[in-house]
Amino acid sequence: MTDWTPYTQRAKTWFEALRDGICAEFEKIEREAGSDASFQYTPWTRDAVAGEADTGGGVQGLMKGRVFEKVGVNVSTVHGAFSPQFAASINGASAENPGFTATGISLVAHMANPHVPAVHMNTRFLTTTKAWFGGGADLNPPLPYDEDTADFHAAFKTTCDAHGEGYYERYKAWADDYFYIPHRKVHRGVGGIFYDHLECVDEAGWEANFAFTKAVGETFLSIFPQLVRRRMGMAFDAAQKQQQLEWRGRYAEFNLVYDRGTLFGLKTGGNIDAILMSLPPEAVWS
Protein backbone atom coordinates (compact mmCIF):
# COMPACT_ATOMS: atom_id res chain seq x y z
CA MET A 1 0.00 0.00 0.00
CA THR A 2 1.30 3.46 -0.91
CA ASP A 3 2.31 5.74 1.95
CA TRP A 4 0.34 8.85 1.10
CA THR A 5 1.87 11.00 3.87
CA PRO A 6 4.30 12.97 1.64
CA TYR A 7 1.56 13.44 -0.93
CA THR A 8 -0.76 14.83 1.72
CA GLN A 9 1.98 17.32 2.63
CA ARG A 10 2.40 18.36 -1.01
CA ALA A 11 -1.34 18.91 -1.34
CA LYS A 12 -1.41 20.88 1.91
CA THR A 13 1.43 23.12 0.73
CA TRP A 14 -0.39 23.81 -2.52
CA PHE A 15 -3.69 24.59 -0.81
CA GLU A 16 -1.90 27.09 1.42
CA ALA A 17 -0.25 28.73 -1.60
CA LEU A 18 -3.61 28.94 -3.38
CA ARG A 19 -5.13 30.55 -0.29
CA ASP A 20 -2.36 33.13 -0.21
CA GLY A 21 -2.90 33.98 -3.88
CA ILE A 22 -6.65 34.26 -3.53
CA CYS A 23 -6.51 36.38 -0.40
CA ALA A 24 -3.97 38.74 -1.95
CA GLU A 25 -6.18 39.20 -5.02
CA PHE A 26 -9.31 39.80 -2.95
CA GLU A 27 -7.49 42.38 -0.82
CA LYS A 28 -6.32 44.05 -4.04
CA ILE A 29 -9.96 44.35 -5.14
CA GLU A 30 -10.81 45.94 -1.79
CA ARG A 31 -8.02 48.51 -2.34
CA GLU A 32 -9.44 49.30 -5.77
CA ALA A 33 -12.75 50.05 -4.04
CA GLY A 34 -11.08 52.38 -1.52
CA SER A 35 -11.19 49.91 1.37
CA ASP A 36 -8.36 48.86 3.67
CA ALA A 37 -10.06 45.59 4.66
CA SER A 38 -7.71 42.64 5.11
CA PHE A 39 -7.98 38.99 6.02
CA GLN A 40 -7.71 38.06 9.65
CA TYR A 41 -6.25 34.61 10.26
CA THR A 42 -7.19 32.39 13.20
CA PRO A 43 -5.43 29.05 13.73
CA TRP A 44 -7.33 26.19 15.32
CA THR A 45 -6.63 22.64 16.49
CA ARG A 46 -8.96 19.72 15.91
CA ASP A 47 -10.66 18.35 19.01
CA ALA A 48 -9.10 14.99 19.78
CA VAL A 49 -11.14 12.02 20.90
CA ALA A 50 -10.07 9.30 23.30
CA GLY A 51 -6.92 7.52 22.17
CA GLU A 52 -5.91 10.13 19.57
CA ALA A 53 -2.74 12.17 19.78
CA ASP A 54 -1.95 15.00 17.35
CA THR A 55 -5.02 15.29 15.13
CA GLY A 56 -4.17 18.36 13.09
CA GLY A 57 -6.08 21.57 12.59
CA GLY A 58 -6.15 24.53 10.27
CA VAL A 59 -6.31 28.27 9.75
CA GLN A 60 -9.50 30.23 9.21
CA GLY A 61 -9.11 33.34 7.07
CA LEU A 62 -11.94 35.88 7.22
CA MET A 63 -12.40 39.32 5.66
CA LYS A 64 -15.30 41.76 5.85
CA GLY A 65 -14.91 44.63 3.44
CA ARG A 66 -16.58 47.04 1.07
CA VAL A 67 -16.81 44.63 -1.87
CA PHE A 68 -16.61 41.34 0.00
CA GLU A 69 -19.26 41.69 2.68
CA LYS A 70 -18.00 38.42 4.13
CA VAL A 71 -15.46 36.04 2.64
CA GLY A 72 -13.85 33.05 4.29
CA VAL A 73 -10.86 31.14 2.96
CA ASN A 74 -9.98 28.18 5.16
CA VAL A 75 -7.23 25.58 4.94
CA SER A 76 -7.21 22.53 7.18
CA THR A 77 -5.29 19.29 7.54
CA VAL A 78 -6.77 16.78 9.98
CA HIS A 79 -6.41 13.09 10.73
CA GLY A 80 -7.86 10.57 13.08
CA ALA A 81 -10.66 8.02 13.02
CA PHE A 82 -14.30 8.33 11.98
CA SER A 83 -17.04 7.17 14.29
CA PRO A 84 -18.28 3.72 13.20
CA GLN A 85 -21.60 5.10 12.00
CA PHE A 86 -20.04 7.93 9.98
CA ALA A 87 -17.26 5.71 8.60
CA ALA A 88 -19.87 3.68 6.71
CA SER A 89 -20.67 6.76 4.59
CA ILE A 90 -17.06 7.56 3.60
CA ASN A 91 -15.26 6.14 0.57
CA GLY A 92 -12.80 3.46 1.71
CA ALA A 93 -13.64 3.67 5.41
CA SER A 94 -15.44 1.20 7.63
CA ALA A 95 -15.95 0.37 11.28
CA GLU A 96 -12.94 -1.96 10.99
CA ASN A 97 -10.81 0.65 9.16
CA PRO A 98 -12.02 4.08 10.34
CA GLY A 99 -8.73 5.99 9.99
CA PHE A 100 -8.48 9.02 7.72
CA THR A 101 -6.46 12.06 6.73
CA ALA A 102 -7.92 15.07 4.98
CA THR A 103 -6.38 18.28 3.71
CA GLY A 104 -8.14 20.96 1.72
CA ILE A 105 -9.10 24.53 1.03
CA SER A 106 -12.65 25.88 1.31
CA LEU A 107 -13.87 29.29 0.20
CA VAL A 108 -17.21 31.08 0.31
CA ALA A 109 -17.68 34.74 -0.64
CA HIS A 110 -20.83 36.77 0.04
CA MET A 111 -20.74 40.09 -1.77
CA ALA A 112 -22.01 43.51 -0.71
CA ASN A 113 -23.40 44.40 -4.14
CA PRO A 114 -26.24 42.07 -5.25
CA HIS A 115 -25.04 42.37 -8.85
CA VAL A 116 -21.81 40.59 -7.90
CA PRO A 117 -22.26 36.82 -7.69
CA ALA A 118 -21.50 34.96 -4.50
CA VAL A 119 -19.24 31.98 -5.01
CA HIS A 120 -18.09 28.73 -3.45
CA MET A 121 -14.88 26.82 -4.16
CA ASN A 122 -13.11 23.94 -2.49
CA THR A 123 -10.55 21.30 -3.31
CA ARG A 124 -9.37 18.51 -1.05
CA PHE A 125 -7.33 15.30 -0.78
CA LEU A 126 -8.48 12.47 1.50
CA THR A 127 -7.09 9.10 2.42
CA THR A 128 -8.77 6.15 4.08
CA THR A 129 -7.98 2.70 2.72
CA LYS A 130 -8.26 4.60 -0.55
CA ALA A 131 -6.93 7.98 -1.66
CA TRP A 132 -8.80 10.53 -3.73
CA PHE A 133 -9.30 14.15 -4.67
CA GLY A 134 -12.53 16.10 -4.75
CA GLY A 135 -13.73 19.64 -5.14
CA GLY A 136 -15.02 22.17 -7.60
CA ALA A 137 -16.48 25.65 -7.81
CA ASP A 138 -19.98 27.00 -8.35
CA LEU A 139 -21.42 30.45 -8.96
CA ASN A 140 -24.32 31.73 -6.86
CA PRO A 141 -25.67 35.04 -8.20
CA PRO A 142 -28.73 36.64 -6.60
CA LEU A 143 -29.18 38.55 -9.88
CA PRO A 144 -27.87 36.24 -12.63
CA TYR A 145 -26.20 37.59 -15.75
CA ASP A 146 -25.91 35.27 -18.74
CA GLU A 147 -22.50 36.73 -19.59
CA ASP A 148 -21.10 35.91 -16.14
CA THR A 149 -22.54 32.41 -16.18
CA ALA A 150 -21.15 31.72 -19.65
CA ASP A 151 -17.67 33.02 -18.80
CA PHE A 152 -17.51 31.06 -15.55
CA HIS A 153 -18.50 27.81 -17.24
CA ALA A 154 -16.25 28.42 -20.24
CA ALA A 155 -13.23 28.84 -17.98
CA PHE A 156 -13.86 25.55 -16.21
CA LYS A 157 -14.70 23.75 -19.44
CA THR A 158 -11.30 24.71 -20.81
CA THR A 159 -9.64 23.38 -17.68
CA CYS A 160 -11.62 20.14 -17.68
CA ASP A 161 -11.04 19.51 -21.39
CA ALA A 162 -7.29 19.81 -20.85
CA HIS A 163 -7.26 17.10 -18.18
CA GLY A 164 -9.80 14.45 -19.07
CA GLU A 165 -12.21 13.52 -21.84
CA GLY A 166 -15.75 14.10 -20.68
CA TYR A 167 -14.67 15.78 -17.44
CA TYR A 168 -16.65 18.97 -18.01
CA GLU A 169 -19.91 17.29 -18.98
CA ARG A 170 -19.63 14.83 -16.09
CA TYR A 171 -18.62 17.35 -13.42
CA LYS A 172 -21.06 20.02 -14.58
CA ALA A 173 -23.89 17.50 -14.33
CA TRP A 174 -22.64 16.47 -10.89
CA ALA A 175 -22.72 20.10 -9.74
CA ASP A 176 -26.22 20.58 -11.12
CA ASP A 177 -27.38 17.49 -9.25
CA TYR A 178 -25.53 18.22 -6.01
CA PHE A 179 -26.24 21.93 -5.61
CA TYR A 180 -30.00 21.50 -5.64
CA ILE A 181 -32.43 22.31 -2.84
CA PRO A 182 -35.07 19.56 -2.97
CA HIS A 183 -37.54 21.15 -0.57
CA ARG A 184 -37.46 24.37 -2.64
CA LYS A 185 -37.21 22.60 -6.00
CA VAL A 186 -34.55 25.08 -7.13
CA HIS A 187 -30.82 25.01 -7.75
CA ARG A 188 -28.58 26.90 -5.34
CA GLY A 189 -27.06 28.93 -8.17
CA VAL A 190 -26.05 28.67 -11.83
CA GLY A 191 -23.70 25.76 -11.32
CA GLY A 192 -20.10 25.08 -12.13
CA ILE A 193 -18.25 21.82 -11.61
CA PHE A 194 -18.18 19.34 -8.76
CA TYR A 195 -16.14 16.13 -8.53
CA ASP A 196 -15.42 13.62 -5.79
CA HIS A 197 -13.71 10.24 -5.30
CA LEU A 198 -11.20 10.98 -8.08
CA GLU A 199 -9.17 8.01 -6.93
CA CYS A 200 -5.39 7.64 -6.95
CA VAL A 201 -4.50 4.01 -7.51
CA ASP A 202 -0.78 4.73 -7.83
CA GLU A 203 1.71 7.61 -7.83
CA ALA A 204 1.13 8.43 -11.50
CA GLY A 205 -2.59 8.62 -10.89
CA TRP A 206 -2.01 10.91 -7.93
CA GLU A 207 0.10 13.27 -10.02
CA ALA A 208 -2.54 13.47 -12.74
CA ASN A 209 -5.37 14.08 -10.28
CA PHE A 210 -3.30 16.61 -8.36
CA ALA A 211 -2.54 18.48 -11.59
CA PHE A 212 -6.26 18.69 -12.34
CA THR A 213 -7.07 19.83 -8.81
CA LYS A 214 -4.43 22.55 -9.00
CA ALA A 215 -5.83 23.67 -12.34
CA VAL A 216 -9.30 23.96 -10.80
CA GLY A 217 -7.90 26.29 -8.12
CA GLU A 218 -5.95 28.34 -10.64
CA THR A 219 -9.00 28.67 -12.87
CA PHE A 220 -11.06 29.97 -9.98
CA LEU A 221 -8.38 32.55 -9.15
CA SER A 222 -8.37 33.65 -12.78
CA ILE A 223 -12.08 33.92 -13.54
CA PHE A 224 -13.85 34.99 -10.36
CA PRO A 225 -12.00 38.30 -9.81
CA GLN A 226 -12.91 39.21 -13.39
CA LEU A 227 -16.60 38.83 -12.57
CA VAL A 228 -16.24 40.82 -9.35
CA ARG A 229 -14.58 43.75 -11.12
CA ARG A 230 -17.22 43.62 -13.87
CA ARG A 231 -20.12 44.13 -11.43
CA MET A 232 -18.86 45.70 -8.20
CA GLY A 233 -19.42 49.31 -9.31
CA MET A 234 -23.01 48.85 -10.47
CA ALA A 235 -25.78 50.74 -8.70
CA PHE A 236 -28.50 48.74 -6.99
CA ASP A 237 -31.82 49.52 -5.32
CA ALA A 238 -33.64 48.29 -2.24
CA ALA A 239 -35.62 45.68 -4.17
CA GLN A 240 -32.44 44.14 -5.56
CA LYS A 241 -30.87 44.08 -2.11
CA GLN A 242 -33.99 42.37 -0.76
CA GLN A 243 -33.73 39.77 -3.52
CA GLN A 244 -30.13 39.12 -2.48
CA LEU A 245 -31.09 38.67 1.17
CA GLU A 246 -33.90 36.24 0.31
CA TRP A 247 -31.56 34.28 -1.97
CA ARG A 248 -29.05 34.07 0.89
CA GLY A 249 -31.71 32.37 2.96
CA ARG A 250 -31.89 29.61 0.36
CA TYR A 251 -28.10 29.36 0.39
CA ALA A 252 -28.10 28.93 4.16
CA GLU A 253 -30.78 26.26 3.94
CA PHE A 254 -28.71 24.19 1.54
CA ASN A 255 -25.52 24.44 3.58
CA LEU A 256 -27.21 23.52 6.85
CA VAL A 257 -29.44 20.74 5.53
CA TYR A 258 -27.69 19.12 2.57
CA ASP A 259 -24.03 20.11 2.30
CA ARG A 260 -21.70 17.15 2.83
CA GLY A 261 -18.73 19.36 3.66
CA THR A 262 -20.60 20.90 6.59
CA LEU A 263 -21.48 17.44 7.87
CA PHE A 264 -17.91 16.19 7.43
CA GLY A 265 -16.52 19.08 9.46
CA LEU A 266 -19.03 18.62 12.26
CA LYS A 267 -18.54 14.85 12.38
CA THR A 268 -14.73 15.04 12.51
CA GLY A 269 -14.24 17.59 15.28
CA GLY A 270 -13.57 20.59 13.05
CA ASN A 271 -13.62 24.21 14.14
CA ILE A 272 -17.26 25.36 14.32
CA ASP A 273 -16.56 28.93 13.20
CA ALA A 274 -14.56 27.69 10.22
CA ILE A 275 -17.22 25.16 9.27
CA LEU A 276 -20.04 27.68 9.43
CA MET A 277 -18.14 30.52 7.75
CA SER A 278 -20.15 29.61 4.64
CA LEU A 279 -23.27 31.16 6.14
CA PRO A 280 -24.11 34.67 4.92
CA PRO A 281 -23.66 37.67 7.23
CA GLU A 282 -27.29 38.67 6.75
CA ALA A 283 -30.29 36.89 5.26
CA VAL A 284 -34.07 37.07 5.37
CA TRP A 285 -36.96 34.64 5.03
CA SER A 286 -40.08 36.26 3.64
Catalytic annotation, residues: 120
* Residues facing 60 on adjacent strands: 42, 74
Q: Is residue 11 within 8 Å of 103, Cβ to Cβ?
A: yes
